[in-house]
Amino acid sequence: MISGVVEPVRLGKTALPDGRRLGWAEWGPEDGIPVLLCPGGATSRSMGFGGDIVGGLGVRLISVDRPGLGASDQAPDRTLGDWAQDIRRFLEARQLSGVAAVGFSAGAPFALACAAAGVVAGVAVVAGTDELANPVFADALAPDVRRLVELVATDPGRAEAFFAGFSAEAMWSFVIPTLADVDRAVYTAPVFERVYRRAMDEAFSQGPAGYARDTVLTMSPWPFDPGSIRAPVDLWYGARDTSTVHSPDFGASLAGRLRAAERRVLPEAGGSLLWTHAEAILRSLLGRTRGR
């Protein structure tokens, strides 16, 4: 069952102290428990999850566009650490506290960066991109991914220019053939495909620079030690996930580097488990961060 690909309840932009604005979308009650969504790569704030269950769980889901994607202003040379500080200021501006985070796919390093900076109270990493530049994966990466990681390490400017050659349509054409059957059935379901493709169009609405910078950051060494993260972290993976840019070992090595990790690999699920297992993901996150 696909859960929660529904229209946002609220949309807006929040100004940061430096004048840039971050675009956001929300689902659920305004007085609900705030949960930050760091969306997957090449998508925007409008691609939520669990929109049909967040109300019953008392969750206020807040999806934020990263700089240069969707409705958020550009920040060309941003880092993962910059993102954590952007979110700190975003939460302060909106007077939000006790926030947990969900990082899906390429959004995972951004959610973990927030945890490392002490900005969020806990994280659910869902089909998350691991630290692909970590030497532990040197022999485990698919050859094309290994070449890109090496290019980012040796010539990040050239790598960013390469990623800037992508468009929303190119991303759709690239992603769909690589999916396992269980995921392709989700992504090509009429309602899901419409929302997903719109989110990709929005992500590239300012051009490809935001996506290119995102991708360089996800393929670079993380500027934080996962072992320094004190907040609880849930790791969720589907055993049928065939993505070459998530985690070669379904989060096993990452779980060993985190202080308070719980790792689940669901045998029947694929990389789309954010939408097929939304309630379980949110209930676990709430339980570990709020004692519910």
CA dihedral 57, 60, 65, 67 (to 10 degrees): -130
CA distance linking residue 181 with residue 168, whole number of Å: 22
Token pair in block for residue 289 = 């961060």
Residues 135-172 pLDDT 10s = 999 999 999 999 999 999 999 999 999 999 999 999 99
Residue 1: the pLDDT is 55
Residues 250-261 pLDDT 10s = 999 999 999 999
Residue 4: the pLDDT is 76
φ/ψ (deg, to 5) at 261: -110, 140
Q: Is the pLDDT of residue 34 over 70?
A: yes
**Amino acid code (one letter) for 151:** L
- The answer to whether residues 56 and 50 touch, using CB atoms and an 8 Å cutoff, is no
Residues 173-219 pLDDT 10s = 999 999 999 999 999 999 999 999 999 999 999 999 999 999 999 99
**Amino acid code (one letter) for 157:** G
CA distance linking residue 153 with residue 165, whole number of Å: 19
Q: Is the pLDDT of residue 54 over 60?
A: yes
Beta strand segments in the chain, E: 10-15, 21-27, 33-38, 59-64, 100-104, 123-126, 233-238, 261-266
